[in-house]
Amino acid sequence: MAKILLLGSGELGKEFVIAAQRIGQTVIAVDSYANAPAMHVADSSEVINMLDGDALDAIVEKHNPDYIVPEIEAIRTERFYEYEKQGYNVVPSARAANYTMNRKAIRDLAAVELGLKTAPYSYATSEEELQKAVENIGMPCVVKPLMSSSGKGQSTIRSAEDINYAWNYSQEGSRGDVAEVIVEGFINFNYEITLLTVTQNNGPTLFCPPIGHRQEGGDYRESWQPALMADADLAAAQAMADKVTEALGGAGIWGVEFFIADEGVYFSELSPRPHDTGMVTLANTQNFNEFELHLRAILGLPIPEITQERIGASSVILANGHSDSPSFSGIEEMASATKSDFRLFGKPTSRPNRRMGVVVTYDNLSGSIEDVVNRAIDLSSKVDVKL
């Protein structure tokens, strides 16, 4: 039985803990607030500021875990290098956690060191530098904090009047003490995908069927599996994902995001953990969902294959305001639908556009992707978060 220290205890962490509990592992769930979703199902929990390196060190020393598994970006990841020197197993690796939680590090690795096709980009550490970067990149362009998640602080600049807002918004959404932003040229892509990629210490790298998704404000709203795409584009995405995950090292699941355009496949971003768009796998679209795959890869359990069992879709349930005691209406109507399921995450508070739950729908392999997506959207719309 392994002891796992889970750093970040949101909805993705909760499903990971459930997967771990099913095969007898011990999990300590850590987050910056009490009663976070994963804490409901973990063996024990801790509340600390994970951007406080001393507090993080103390928790690691206290629990002496077999595995340190980060689930969020807001962590003093530079401490992970020292943990590895001390003999701790950081998932997937200290290098991976540090590179992927900083958009500058991962973009330079992908574009400069590995030669992957990406959007044109530049960096800025002030509003004046942002203005110069926009002039060089051209408009429209996208501005993102180097350290953020779920679209926080991300905006699109379409005119010079947008620059001041984009800079201020990026600073509001930035995590940690990094003020720098990345400015990306706008790609006229046809669609975007997440390619869940599983690396193993004692086995080949495996790929889940591609997941299509729609974003709004930088955050996902719906996802579906499989995304229908040309074989050549899928092969190109798999080759890029294999290259970048090998460079970062370690075992686990990675959410590798790509833009698919007329001129080919562009690498976008990378997360070294289960991906929010991958919640579609909770519809049992695969023989193992993404959380089970992550756990098995971490523990070194063999994963002989990943197979598509049926098609599926997911649609998020969002809050539209602030509440210290949110509740839900419309659950009965949603639950009466066939070929569907849902998760309510159990977050203790709500705020505008916070994910509070997800609906998943499915059909057999000969079914219609469009139908399962529309059904997921319709069912999620029936649920209201009561404030």
Catalytic annotation, residues: 149, 151, 257, 269, 276-277, 355
Q: Identify the three-state secondary structure at position 180.
A: coil
| 226 Cβ contact partners less than 8 Å away, ≥ 6 residues apart | 209, 210, 211, 212, 308, 311, 369
Helix axes 11-22, 290-299, angle to 10 degrees: 60
3-state secondary structure of 270: strand
For residue 91, give Cα distances in angstroms to 17, 37, 201, 315: 15, 21, 12, 28
CB 352, CB 322: distance < 8 Å? yes
Residue 89 neighbours by CB under 8 Å, 6+ apart = 66, 67, 68
∠91-92-97 over CA atoms, to 5°? Answer: 90
Give φ, ψ of 45 to 5 degrees. -145, 160
> In terms of Cα–Cα distance, which of 358, 290, 355 is closest to 326?
355
DSSP 94: H
Contact 121, 142 (CB under 8 A): no
Quote the distance between the C-alpha of residue 368 and its chain's center. 26
Q: The tokens of 99 are what?
A: 């590179």
Do residues 334 and 383 touch, judged by C-beta distance below 8 A?
yes
Residue 255 · residue 207 · CB < 8 Å? no
